[in-house]
């Protein structure tokens, strides 16, 4: 037995040598050609082992061949894999990102790359192919002619590759839960599952989207149009155009839930600045986030498109190639320049690619900020720094602008430097919840300073400010501490109520008021457009203007729960809002149908890329009838 194993190793020695070459080389390229940040030793380990499973799997195909063909396959597979790595290296030099299939086929990108490809290639790059030359020469000896491997040998190799892959993904999942279902970031995928596996993963996602798109046809958009048309509500004439021509500041307040507003912890206000701001703004205390697995990116999707994000995965990743009619694109025709400002890696949530599809003119990302260990915490640049450093960026923009600022400090695990703690942590048994209040308080302070700087920069008067929470910060895992804080049991009904996030619309020079209407992030697009005096009645959208007189109190969450004026429906149970008690399910029936229809239509649009069939002019004609 032992001898047999030894013999197999010897017989297929070039298979093992080539595997080792490819494995170590890939790791070497990770370390030298890409800038992949490493937070801990575990991540180093993952990075080191991640090329191994695919290397074994690919080279396994050579075992099906004997003699000369076996040798050729080894060289060929090594060469193709190396070429994939090399293509990523060159691509990275130009785009500072890894290749993703749609980008590769985007002609504009290839054009950019084509022009400069020679300046991106360096003589030393040849070293990447050195092992292949060595393999080709060394192996090319007639007396090295192994037999075709036995089924058992191939089976063992296959099992080993899969086992290593499972171990790899297993450790990666502990580092990054839901890595594969939520996608997150190309860099993170490469770091965790390796370049080769990442390309396979990317190919699967893209082909799935392509297939669904191919089966869709133009007639499907008609039902959606009819639905949207029937639910359209005219804007309040008093509010329509109220902010015409103003700059738009959209501020995504990370993980901020509505329950912290006007609330204290240990007698200290959690959001003193926001509480003040609310007193001369429109404030919506019954406003819900509607995000799914795509978290911040889902909130952005809702905001810019008035479509729902997907039931699983992040639409920013899976359907960035779709046709959209997003706000940045629409307001361009009204003279607006649009930008996103966010001090994180530009490929996080596939933002760099999605923002192009949404029609954003500019994206100020990590590379546009000065980020040092001193001015960073947790996920990156501290909010105060981020917002201050954003001022020159917006000053550089054409007016009027539509600019989305994405804050980050109040992100799980809610860590802060001591100097940034304006209120002490809370004192329950749950560290996450305790820290949450303190980081929310910090972001509140950062926003206060930002408003001061905006005023100093002379940008305040001609702007409107829309601040919204992107999604929850405290998950249901923390119900005991939340229940202690709120002084009540967290029932499924209360859990839905906790999905409220603040929405504050501040228009300098106007008083504003508290708006009790029930709504969600899907309503932001028509609300903003109408304030700017831009019609939306011909757009495909599922939201309704939050100021519209005839609007229905209604918000559908991504898990199909929904909230109306008097009821909350969740987990197949209808609750009375005033008592929080279960009530006759009939009361929720009518709007239940609507909630289902709406999510269904929105998903259909995304899966089928249906907006490519949408002709606004035909829709306009129908609206007139
Ligand atoms: C990352 C930021 C936070 O860029 O958007 O991500 P999240 O986990 O909140 O979606
Ligand atoms: Mn977020």
- CATH number, domain with residue 425: 3.40.720.10
Q: Could you tell me if 208 and 255 lie in one domain?
A: no
CA distance 218 to 229: 17
Q: Which two tokens stand for residue 260?
A: 């912290």
Is 254 annotated as a binding-site member?
yes
Give the ligand 1 atom nearest the CA of 344.
4
What is residue 112's predicted lDDT score, i.e. its pLDDT?
Answer: 60
Q: Could you tell me if 69 and 205 lie in one domain?
A: yes
* pLDDT reading at 264 higher than 90: yes
Q: Could you tell me if 143 and 288 lie in one domain?
A: no
Q: Could you tell me if 64 and 127 lie in one domain?
A: yes
Give the ligand 1 atom nearest the CA of 406.
5
How many domains does the chain divide into?
2
- Quick check: is 403 in a domain? yes
What 3-state class would DSSP assign to 466? strand
Q: Could you tell me if 529 and 443 lie in one domain?
A: yes
pLDDT, tens digit, 9 for 90 and up, residues 48-60: 999 999 999 999 9
- Quick check: is 507 in a domain? yes
Per DSSP (E only), the strands in 181-231 are: none
* pLDDT reading at 619 higher than 80: no
Selected catalytic residue, list 296, 407, 439, 564: 296
Q: Which of 296, 404, 468 to mutate to test the pocket of ligand 1 (most atoms within 8 A of CB)?
A: 296
- Quick check: is 314 in a domain? yes
Q: Could you tell me if 41 and 186 lie in one domain?
A: yes
Around ligand 1, the residues with Cβ closer than 6 Å are 295-296, 344, 348, 406, 408, 411
- Quick check: is 130 in a domain? yes
Among the three residues 477, 509, 543, which one is the final residue of a domain in this structure? 543
Q: Are 307 and 574 in contact (CB under 8 A)?
A: no
* pLDDT reading at 118 higher than 80: no
Q: Find the distance separating the first CA and the last CA of the chain, reported in whole Å.
A: 84
527 alpha carbon to ligand 1 midpoint, in Å? Answer: 24
Query: H-helix or E-strand containing 33?
Result: helix 13-33
Q: Could you tell me if 41 and 180 lie in one domain?
A: yes
238 alpha carbon to ligand 2 midpoint, in Å? Answer: 34
Instruction: Tell which residue, 77, 103, 78, has the closest CA to residue 88.
Output: 103
Q: What is the 3-state secondary structure (H, E, C) of 550-600?
A: CCCCEEECCCCCEEECCEEEECCEEEECCCCCECCCHHHHHHHHHHHHHHH
φ/ψ of residue 191, rounded to 5: -60, -35
Q: Which residues, including other chains, have CB under 8 Å from residue 455's CB and lie 6 or more apart?
A: none
- Whole domain around residue 319: which residue ranges? 240-543
| Average pLDDT of the residues in 415-443 | 97
CA distance 248 to 405: 11
Among the three residues 524, 543, 562, which one is the final residue of a domain in this structure? 543
What 3-state class would DSSP assign to 396? coil
Q: Which two tokens stand for residue 436?
A: 């949450």
* pLDDT reading at 289 higher than 90: yes
What is residue 476's predicted lDDT score, i.e. its pLDDT?
Answer: 86
pLDDT, tens digit, 9 for 90 and up, residues 200-214: 988 888 888 888 888
Q: Are 319 and 313 in contact (CB under 8 A)?
A: no
Q: Could you tell me if 316 and 189 lie in one domain?
A: no
CA distance 299 to 295: 6
| Average pLDDT of the residues in 383-397 | 98
CA distances from 321 to 337, 528, 540, 580 (A): 22, 25, 18, 43
Q: Are 404 and 300 in contact (CB under 8 A)?
A: yes
- Quick check: is 482 in a domain? yes
What is residue 388's predicted lDDT score, i.e. its pLDDT?
Answer: 98
Q: Which two tokens stand for residue 230?
A: 């029937």
- Quick check: is 623 in a domain? no
CA distance 526 to 303: 9
The neighbour count for residue 575, using CB atoms within 10 Å, is 25
Give the ligand 1 atom nearest the CA of 345.
4
Sign of CA dihedral 53, 54, 55, 60: positive
Give the ligand 1 atom nearest the CA of 342.
4
Ligand number nearest CA of 343 is: 1
Is 470 annotated as a binding-site member?
yes
Q: Could you tell me if 334 and 204 lie in one domain?
A: no
Q: Could you tell me if 193 and 268 lie in one domain?
A: no
Q: Which two tokens stand for residue 575?
A: 């609750």
- Quick check: is 581 in a domain? no
Q: Are 499 and 472 in contact (CB under 8 A)?
A: yes
Among the three residues 543, 568, 590, which one is the final residue of a domain in this structure? 543
Q: What is the pTM of this model?
A: 0.84
What is residue 138's predicted lDDT score, i.e. its pLDDT?
Answer: 83
Ligand number nearest CA of 378 is: 1
Q: Are 270 and 441 in contact (CB under 8 A)?
A: yes
Q: Could you tell me if 62 and 188 lie in one domain?
A: yes
Q: How many residues comprise the chain? A: 625
- Quick check: is 266 in a domain? yes
Q: Could you tell me if 174 and 300 lie in one domain?
A: no
- The residue nearest atom 3 of ligand 1, judged by CA position, is 296
The burial of 292, by beta-carbon neighbours within 10 Å (0-12 exposed, 13-18 middle, 19 or more buried), is given as buried
361 alpha carbon to ligand 1 midpoint, in Å? Answer: 21
* pLDDT reading at 97 higher than 90: no
**DSSP symbol at 146:** P
* pLDDT reading at 579 higher than 60: yes
Alpha carbon 16 to chain centroid distance?
Answer: 39
CA distance 49 to 23: 8
296 is catalytic: yes
- For the ranges 98-102, 446-450, 509-513, 518-522, the lowest mean pLDDT is seen at 98-102
What is residue 208's predicted lDDT score, i.e. its pLDDT?
Answer: 85
* pLDDT reading at 75 higher than 60: yes
Ligand number nearest CA of 344 is: 1
354 alpha carbon to ligand 1 midpoint, in Å? Answer: 15
């Amino acid at each position: 037995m032992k001898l047999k194993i030894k013999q197999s190793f010897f017989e297929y020695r070039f298979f093992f040598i080539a595997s080792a070459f490819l494995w170590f080389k890939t790791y070497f390229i990770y370390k030298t050609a890409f800038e992949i940040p490493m937070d801990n030793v575990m991540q180093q380990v993952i990075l080191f082992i991640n090329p191994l499973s695919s290397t074994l799997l690919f080279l396994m195909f050579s075992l099906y061949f004997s003699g000369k063909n076996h040798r050729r396959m080894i060289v060929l597979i090594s060469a193709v894999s190396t070429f994939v790595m090399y293509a990523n290296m060159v691509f990275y030099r130009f785009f500072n990102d890894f290749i993703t299939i749609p980008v590769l086929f985007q002609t504009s990108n290839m054009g950019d790359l084509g022009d400069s490809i020679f300046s991106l290639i360096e003589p030393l790059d040849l070293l990447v192919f050195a092992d292949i030359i060595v393999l080709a020469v060394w192996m090319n000896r007639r007396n090295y002619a192994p037999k075709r491997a036995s089924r058992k040998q191939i089976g063992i190799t296959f099992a080993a590759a899969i086992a290593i892959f499972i171990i790899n993904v297993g450790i990666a999942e502990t580092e990054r839960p839901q890595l594969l279902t939520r996608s997150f970031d190309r860099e993170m995928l490469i770091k965790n599952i390796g370049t080769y596996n990442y390309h396979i993963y990317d190919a699967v996602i893209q082909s799935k989207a392509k297939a669904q798109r191919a089966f869709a046809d133009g007639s499907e958009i008609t039902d959606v149009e009819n639905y949207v048309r029937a639910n359209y509500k005219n804007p309040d004439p008093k509010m329509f155009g109220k902010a015409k021509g103003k700059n738009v500041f959209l501020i995504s307040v990370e993980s901020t839930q509505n329950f912290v507003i006007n609330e204290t912890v240990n007698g200290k206000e959690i959001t003193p600045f926001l509480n003040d701001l609310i007193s001369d703004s429109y404030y919506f205390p019954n406003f819900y986030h509607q995000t799914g697995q795509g978290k911040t990116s889902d909130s952005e999707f809702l905001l810019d498109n008035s479509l729902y994000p997907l039931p699983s995965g992040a639409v920013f990743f899976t359907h960035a190639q779709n046709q959209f009619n997003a706000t940045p694109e629409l307001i361009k025709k009204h003279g607006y320049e649009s930008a996103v400002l966010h001090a994180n890696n530009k490929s996080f949530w596939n933002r760099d690619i999605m923002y192009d599809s949404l029609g954003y003119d500019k994206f100020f990302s990590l590379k546009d900020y000065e980020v040092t260990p001193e001015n960073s915490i947790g996920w990156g640049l501290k909010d105060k720094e981020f917002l201050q450093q954003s001022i020159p960026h917006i000053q550089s923009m054409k007016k009027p602008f539509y600019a989305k600022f994405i804050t980050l400090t109040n992100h799980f695990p809610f860590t802060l430097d001591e100097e940034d703690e304006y209120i002490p942590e809370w004192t329950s048994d749950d560290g996450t919840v305790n820290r949450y209040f303190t980081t929310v308080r910090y972001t509140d302070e950062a926003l206060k300073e930002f408003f001061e700087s905006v005023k100093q920069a002379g940008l305040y008067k001609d702007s409107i400010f829309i601040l919204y929470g992107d999604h929850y910060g405290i998950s249901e895992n923390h119900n005991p501490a939340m229940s202690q804080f709120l002084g009540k049991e967290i029932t499924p009904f209360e859990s839905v109520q906790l999905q409220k996030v603040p929405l504050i619309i501040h228009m300098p020079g106007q008083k504003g008021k508290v708006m009790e209407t029930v709504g969600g992030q899907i309503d932001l697009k028509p609300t903003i457009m109408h304030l700017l005096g831009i019609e939306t009645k011909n757009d495909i959208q599922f939201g309704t203007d939050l100021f519209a007189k005839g609007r229905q109190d209604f918000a559908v969450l991504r898990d199909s729960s929904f909230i109306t004026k008097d009821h909350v429906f969740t987990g197949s149970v209808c609750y009375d809002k005033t008592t929080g008690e279960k009530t006759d399910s009939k009361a929720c029936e009518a709007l239940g149908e609507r909630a289902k229809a709406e999510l269904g239509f929105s998903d259909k649009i995304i899966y089928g890329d249906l907006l490519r069939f949408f002709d606004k002019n035909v829709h306009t004609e129908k609206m007139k009838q």
